[in-house]
């Protein structure tokens, strides 16, 4: 797996996790109208945060194993066109 492939995968995965977070933010703003439990919202937010951490760790391991430089991470500032 090369830099381009791994970083493309990482970027797509982060986009999906960011979209999930944005959805939960929108849901939080409308949760009363939608009768969505604050506890469930916290649980789902926690699950996304856990997935971000686990995914970042896994991608780092894969990058090291394949001698690939990982430019895209699941957290922190986004790099533009590394």
Please give the Cα distance from 10 to 33 (Å, whole number).
35
What would the two tokens of residue 70 be?
């990982």
Q: Residue 22: exposed, middle, or buried by beta-carbon count in 10 A (0-12, 13-18, 19+)? A: exposed
How confident is the model over 19-78, as pLDDT tens digits?
999 999 999 999 888 888 899 999 999 999 999 999 999 999 999 999 988 888 888 766
| Other beta carbons within 10 Å of 57 | 11
Fill in the DSSP letter of residue 80: S
pTM (2 d.p.): 0.81
């Amino acid at each position: 797996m090369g830099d381009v492939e791994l970083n493309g995968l990482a970027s797509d995965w982060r986009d999906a996790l960011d979209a999930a977070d944005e959805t939960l933010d929108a849901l939080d703003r409308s949760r009363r109208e939608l009768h969505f439990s604050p506890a469930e919202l916290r649980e789902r937010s926690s699950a996304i945060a856990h997935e971000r951490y686990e995914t970042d760790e896994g991608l780092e391991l894969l990058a090291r194993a394949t001698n690939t430089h990982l430019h895209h991470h699941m957290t922190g500032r986004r790099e533009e066109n590394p």
